[in-house]
Chain A
Amino acid sequence: MNLYYNYLMQYIKSNISVFVTVAFLFLMIGNCSAQNYSSRIRICGNSIDEKSYTKSDIKSIFKGEKSRWKNGNSVILVLRFNEDEKSQHLAKAIYNKSTQGVKKFWLGLVFSGRSNAPLFADSNEEALLMLAKHKGSIGVFVDCKEEIPTEFKVSIIKSENEKSIK
């Protein structure tokens, strides 16, 4: 039996590589851009590899793309996150999403089993406590007024090829 879409199936079969290539090139356009950071953002880490990271490194780490530090510690993300303006700023600066979008992003990633969920804190104080408790943890803060121990401070450096890195 041949239904009328039989020809269509054969067409897709013979041209699938062309479709994929064209779609890939088309959707790549306009997607490589640097993240907007501000002086409001501060990064802290407990027993992580480096004391300075580029913006693209930070973004990659906080999107769950790194599982383990070179020193052997598991990467544990700490986010001070709720529905306030600071969280909106964090969501935009790090994830380029709304706060709802960030929640959905993590829900999907954890469910797929490809990453562990971050530790969410309601305040900077709570986030700093979590950071101190877990070796390998890294946190992002917005408008942090609390005193941060020297050993936790991480600086964000510029990279020459920032724009070419996702």
Chain B
Amino acid sequence: MKFNYLFLLTLIYSSTGLLAQGNFNVKGFGSMEHNLEYHQDVEEFDLAWQLGEQSLFVTGDMGNKFSFLGEFSLDYRGGDIHANLHRARIKCNYVGNHSLIIGQMHTPVNYWNDVYYHARIFFPTTDRPLAFSYFIPVHSIGIRAQGQNLGKLNFGYDIQTGNSLTGDGNNPAVLGAFHIKPVDGMRIGASYYYSYIPQNNTMQHMHQGSGMMGSMYAGSLDYQLINFSFARFETKLEILNEFSMVSSRSDTLGVAEGYGNYLYIGYNIKEKYTPYILLDMLKNENNELRNGLVNQLKYGVGYKHQFNPLINLKCQIERYTFNPNWANNSTSNYYEFILQLSYAIY
């Protein structure tokens, strides 16, 4: 079992929060789940209990204009405890609803990454969209200009520059994102992200699975990502659609494209009971040299039971079709049943 300094930071943050006065506070988020997989090809069942990410979230004011937000998590994988620093950012609200943010943050490319982050209690389904495993730059280190709730349509913008997708500071990535919130609970947004990668590698600000071709192709890439998000919550009928389109250009194989679309539709019954359906698909072309050939399709039904705003239980049954990796273009199928308990400590 391996501990690192972030675990100590966790303890320090926690104890400080308990003793703190004023607007410094600490919250916790976590999840635990049980998975049952049935692999059609080999006709075998896999059963597993899993402890999900356990996150600590801290906020604090630093005078009238400045505030701090930090988030880090611990999760247990492969017999080791992994600590991750997700966010550490300082925000300066310089005028009205306009702010400058500096530090490590979640890249606001789409609704999911801007709103849910790592707290599964907010997730409408048990997992992130498939695009998060390949296309979405989850974290960024840099500076961001942010505006929100401007005008009658509640217009918001995020203009950001930071390290490239592979963490290279000499070739900064840029992002432009905007959204409107025309009525309560609805948000419509789009974004454009560009990163020049001088040397492709597996280092990245994404989740596991992305940058798979890093070991095979070490050349340069122009990486562009366009996202459209539509979210409708706080009503009986809930909808979330995340569309992602990636285009990468390499000197050797030219322009290649990939697409992903995640759709969630849920229906709230008395706020506590939410049956839902999901459809998630992802396709990446063979000549794309960041992730290589990817074909994935996931669809299923689920049910969320909200005991109260701080704890909920999700049950989800899904069918998953995929090619295992870029080097293996055969397809596999399996069914998965997930029972996930997610919570917030407030």
A residues neighboring B (CB under 8 Å):
1, 3, 5-6, 8-9, 12-13, 16, 19-20, 23-24, 27-28, 31-32, 60, 63, 65-68, 72-74, 96-98, 100-101, 103-105, 107-108, 110-114, 116-117, 165-166
Contacts and interface: CB of A to CB of B under 8 A. Distances in A.
Interface in B110-126: 114-115, 117, 119, 121-122
Interface stretch (B46-54, B131-139, B161-169, B182-190): B182-190
Contact of A16 (B115, B149, B228): B228
Contacts of B308: 100, 103
B245 interface: yes
Given A67-B93, A110-B59, 14 more contacts: A1-B295, A1-B331, A3-B297, A13-B245, A24-B188, A67-B96, A72-B64, A73-B64, A100-B271, A101-B309, A107-B121, A113-B89, A113-B91, A114-B148
Interface string B80-114: 00000001010101011101000001000000001
Nearest to B149: A65
B93 A68 contact: yes
B321 A1 contact: no
Given A31-B183, A100-B309, A8 B188 contact: no
A108 B122 contact: yes
Closest 10 CB pairs of A and B: A104-B309, A65-B149, A31-B183, A103-B309, A1-B329, A112-B115, A3-B295, A113-B69, A67-B97, A9-B259
Contacts of A31: 183-184, 186
A67 B101 CA distance: 15
Contacts of B65: 74
A166 B281 contact: no
Given A16-B243, A68-B95, A96 B149 contact: no
Contacts of B188: 20, 24
Interface string B298-324: 000000000011100000000001010
A60 B148 CA distance: 12
B271 A8 contact: no
A96 B321 contact: no
Interface string B210-254: 000000000000000000101010100001010101000000000
Interface residues of B, number: 61
B93 to A, nearest CB: 5
B245 A27 contact: no
Contact of A5 (B27, B183, B297): B297
A116 B27 CA distance: 13
Nearest to A30: B183
A111 B230 contact: no
Contacts of A103: 308-310
Contact of B154 (A65, A97, A116): A65
B97 to A, nearest CB: 5
A126 to B, nearest CB: 16
9 contacts: A8-B281, A9-B259, A9-B283, A24-B182, A104-B309, A107-B309, A111-B119, A113-B89, A117-B59
A19 B242 CA distance: 12
Interface string B38-67: 000000000000000000010101001101
